[in-house]
Amino acid sequence: AQSVTQLGSHVSVSEGALVLLRCNYSSSVPPYLFWYVQYPNQGLQLLLKYTTGATLVKGINGFEAEFKKSETSFHLTKPSAHMSDAAEYFCAVSEPGGYNKLIFGAGTRLAVHP
């Protein structure tokens, strides 16, 4: 069975600092990987996804993530945090070739302070 672990339920950074949100997965086959963002009282919005090809994927709002098979990781980074990045971030996996059911991690709440 697939599972997703997000280390750190809360992360706090200063504006302009590096953002690093961690995600590790457990799967019998390399899954497809996704990062979603959720702003307060809203639905989820896709930041980026990895399916095949280049392991470093770029998403919206300056975020990127790198798939590392040997580490079963898909950490999300952004070089310089902005106040508007404060939100909850979810890592998710789906099964290649299957239907598009997503298994989510518990989420990481990012706070950005001046």
Partner 1 sequence: NAGVMQNPRHLVRRRGQEARLRCSPMKGHSHVYWYRQLPEEGLKFMVYLQKENIIDESGMPKERFSAEFPKEGPSILRIQQVVRGDSAAYFCASSPPQLSGANVLTFGAGSRLTVL
Binding site for partner 1 (CB under 8 A): 31-32, 34, 36, 41-46, 49, 51, 90, 94-107
Query: How near is the Cβ of 108 to partner 1 at its closest, in Å?
Result: 10
Give the residue with the Cβ less far from partner 1, 98 or 114.
98
Closer residue to partner 1, CB minimum distance, 79 or 96: 96
Instruction: Please tell me the distance from the alpha carbon of residue 107 to that of residue 9, in angstroms, as a whole number.
Output: 6
Residue with smaller CB distance to partner 1, 92 or 112: 92
Q: Is the dihedral of CA 22, 88, 81, 31 positive or negative?
A: positive
- Give the nearest distance from C-beta 72 to partner 1 in angstroms: 17
14 CB-side CA count, 13 A = 3
Rounded least distance, CB 91 to partner 1, Å: 9
Distances (CA, A) of 42 to 8, 36, 52, 57, 94: 22, 12, 29, 25, 22
